[in-house]
Amino acid sequence: MPMAHTAADPRGADALRVETVKDGHVLRVALHGESDFSKIHELDQALRNIELDGARLVHLDLTQLAFADVATIRRLAAFAGYAKRSGPDVTTCGARPTVRKVANLLRVQDDLGLS
């Protein structure tokens, strides 16, 4: 049975929410709302609390992430790098065209598993 964890920012509909669901060896990390420099501390805290134990694949789902600035994309890339060094592969889905463009400019598209 999948196990889920949510870290929520109670400030409203645009608030950043990070949800994790582990199903077997796949860990899905879904971001919801908006993330910018002012929310990096909350994002860092949520990513730090994610348990990678036993995961073979970390799947970043950005489908519900309405906005992400450069700081957010850098932080997600750092998390992806940490995850890969710990063992799991990392893929990202649902990235909006602007996120893909910024990831490309920052040269972190491979770290994020963007194809």
Could you report the per-residue pLDDT of 14-57, keeping only the tens digit for each? 789 999 999 999 999 999 999 999 999 999 999 999 999 889 99
In the DSSP assignment, the letter for residue 115 is -
CATH ID of 3-112, from 3.40.50.720, 3.30.750.24, 3.40.50.11030, 1.10.1740.10 = 3.30.750.24
- What's the pTM value of the predicted model, to 2 decimals? 0.86
In the DSSP assignment, the letter for residue 39 is G
Where does residue 81 rank: exposed (0-12), middle (13-18), buried (19+ CB within 10 A)?
middle
> Does 9 or 7 have the greater pLDDT score?
7
- Tell me what the mean pLDDT of segment 10-16 comes to: 68
Nearest to 25 by CA among 61, 56, 60: 56
Res 4 pLDDT > 70 = no
Every domain of the chain and the residues it spans: 3-112
- The confidence score (pLDDT) of residue 53 equals 85
- The confidence score (pLDDT) of residue 113 equals 93
